[in-house]
Amino acid sequence: EVQLLESGGGLVQPGGSLRLSCAASGFTFTSYAMSWVRQAPGKGLEWVSGLSDTGGSTYYADSVKGRFTVFRDNSKNTLSLQMNSLSPEDTAVYYCAKAMWTTDAFDIWGQGTMVTVSS
Amino acid sequence: EIVMTQSPDTLSVSPGERATLSCRASQSVSSNLAWYQQKPGQAPRLLIYGASTRATGIPARFSGSGSGTEFTLIISSLQSEDFAVYYCQQYNNWPLTFGGGTKVEIK
């Protein structure tokens, strides 16, 4: 079964850091680009960051550029998001998403992990 | 950044009726447009990619059309399980961007 399982969410104070992980299974992880997409409570979807199948190319939304770092460990089928200098505006459910072959439409999504930034 | 604008914000439709959702891009995205369905408490589900190609397992009542800057998702005969929020997403340029969503509710 194709599956993405996020972990690492939680409560963090403003200015703090958190690392999210996404464990992939059921497909050839090394062949697909991956992304993180977030959704603030009651709001729409916001693409956050993505990277190529090799991890050699990375991309960020302006809202997180310079604060978040995306990376992958293809030997462990794991995608990660290091989040620094967190603010309350980063509070959201964070989804890990798999891009389709040759497109960046997302055909597989994880269940999401909640990140709350609050004092 | 390409801005995606969806309309209407909310669409009230009776079961069995047709629903037409619109998505406009601030500049051309060619056919690099996807549609997703999201139900409360669930992750989004891919419906359409390439503006008009149904994803695996998506019923034929869902159809997408358009190219460039104007796109449409049609649900030909709404079923109870179709009441949800729908998002469009462009993947022609980085950063990838989503529309604000259209909520399809029961009339």
SS3 of chain A: helix, strand, coil, percent, to 5:
5, 50, 45
- Return the closest-CA partner of residue B87 out of A103, A40, A45: A45
pLDDT digits (tens, 9 = 90+) for A1-45: 999 999 999 999 999 999 999 999 999 999 999 999 999 999 999
Separation of alpha carbons A101 and B69, rounded Å: 23
**Mean pLDDT score across all residues of chain B:** 97
What is the spatial distance between Cα A6 and Cα A3, in angstroms, rounded to a whole number? 10
Note the pLDDT of residue A83.
Answer: 98
| pLDDT band with cut points at 50, 70 and 90 for residue B39 | very high
Whether residue B55 lies within 8 A of chain A, CB to CB, comes out as: yes
Q: What is the mean pLDDT of residues A80-92?
A: 98
What pLDDT does A25 receive? Answer: 97
CB contact under 8 A, B87 and A61: no
Q: Is the dihedral of CA A51, A15, B41, B34 positive or negative?
A: negative
pLDDT at B88: 98
Q: Is A111 an 8 Å CB contact of chain B?
A: yes
Give yes or no for a contact between B34 and B73, defined as CB atoms under 8 angstroms apart. no
Mapped onto helix, strand or coil, the DSSP state of residue B80 is helix
Task: Give contacts of B54 with chain A, Cβ < 8 Å.
Answer: none
Hey, is the C-beta of B101 within 8 angstroms of any chain A C-beta?
yes
pLDDT of A102 higher than 90: no
Percent of chain B scoring above 70 in pLDDT: 100
Sign, CA dihedral B78-B82-B86-B89, equals: negative
**Structure confidence at residue A112 as a pLDDT band (50, 70, 90):** very high
- Per-residue pLDDT, averaged over A55-81, amounts to 96
How far is the C-alpha of B94 from the C-alpha of B2, rounded, in Å?
Answer: 9
Mean pLDDT of B39-68: 98
Q: What is the pLDDT of residue A101?
A: 86
In this predicted model, what pLDDT tens digit does every residue of B61-97 receive, in sequence order?
A: 999 999 999 999 999 999 999 999 999 999 999 999 9
In sequence order, the β-bridge partners of residue A80 are: A21, A71
Residue of B nearest to A62 (CA): B95
A46: phi then psi, degrees, rounded to nearest 5: -130, 115
pLDDT above 70 covers a percentage of chain A that reads: 100
Residues sharing a CB contact under 8 Å with residue A18, sequence separation 6 or more, in sequence order? A8, A9, A10, A12, A83, A86, A115
Contacts of B91 in chain A (CB under 8 A): 103-105
